[in-house]
Chains A and B, each alone.
Chain A
Amino acid sequence: MKVPVSITVNGKQYDKMVEPRMLLVYFIREELALTGTHIGCDTSSCGACTVHLDGKALKSCSMLAVQASGKSVTTIEGMASGENLHPLQEGFHMEHGLQCGFCTPGMIMCAADMLKNNPNPTEEEIRHGLEGNFCRCTGYHNIVKSIQYAANKMQESA
């Protein structure tokens, strides 16, 4: 039996009827057609599905949409403001932080949480913070540089 959920995504409230067993990631991708959030492993490991729930990074394949009812979600589509890329998006662009790009939305959402709690992380802290996000292309080096780029830029403008 479907139940009502009310979830705010990237600032817009969506009221929908969903089955309780629907995962949040499917709500985002299939109900809202926001396909920037990816499904990699579907087993809580790879982090490709990372979004923010009430400002905190979450693997959206590991939560039911009903659990998020009444709460606020931010996806990669909600990071830029108009034409202006988020400093993390700009960092991945400038530092060549992606190859195929599959992991990138999850990397950016995880890194955004990391920088919120630790605006000036060391390289080791960045690598540690990415424990829950896998990249099969880059070898991580440029991802770390991209996050350092964003941290510097955000510090400058803070």
Chain B
Amino acid sequence: MEKLLEVEDLTKTFTLGSVLSRVKITAVDDISFYIKPAEIFALAGESGCGKTTTARIIMGFDHASAGTIIHGGKKEAKNEKVWFTEGIQAIFQDPFGTFNPLREVERYFFETIQNYKLAKSKQEAIARIDAKLRLVGLTYEDLAGKYPSEFSGGQLQRISIARALLTDPKLIIADEPVSMVDASLRMSIVNLFKKLRDELGVSVLYITHDLATAYYVCDRIAIMFRGDIVEMGTVEQVLMTPKHPYTQLLRASIPEADTSRRWQGEIKLSDTETDEYLRQGCRFAGRCPLVMDVCRTTTPPDVIVEGAHVSCHLYADYANS
């Protein structure tokens, strides 16, 4: 099987706190996954579980503490970031943070064009910018001479997608690209990903909290919890018949756009984020309704249950089968 991107045993630790009360957090703990060409792969899960950290390392913005990343058959080498990340473009979570408020938005486009030598004349550059903007429902005219403050959050997000498309990337890393836009625009953005996949063979690492759009557009999905991938498989497997208790909680918490199916009962949030990170055994043990003694002491095995990867003691029997 051809793989566009492979992440192997990736680990990232951060140190928090002052000199006296130092805690080490393993933000990403030994995770592995791959993305095929022309595939939309979702990375979902808890806020603060390490999704952005993973994306930043793939993008070369941050160093891994351990593990490797293989992209286009090449292993990452510390001093050769440029060719390594070639063909990868990113879209980030906060469109307000992507652009400097004192710079005209179009300058970002011209900068990318210059950096990648994508056009010979200003005319050609504008034509390219306009073509990419049209893919997201805007035009060059809409943006010429304007500053970020003149756009809404949703508009800025579409603008950053258009900018990412300038270099015709093979892989787009989209970190919560739809969280700031309306439902209809969400649909147009994920439909755009679909189109890029089906017509241009582009792959997308789609990091999101919107599991309904993930179900709609993705091929496979990984569910992360506190630095671990706890479940991974096709969206059908993972979202329609979730196996891991955390995935089940996640699935049950999705607010349905249906007034007859409002949330029932109350849920318990984690005591503290860092405590769960530091927990021995399964990190979900503190909140899991099905917790067993072994969960509190031993790291759960990674097993295959009905085709999906699951990391949970409940499925220990599958380990040998």
- A and B: interacting chains: no
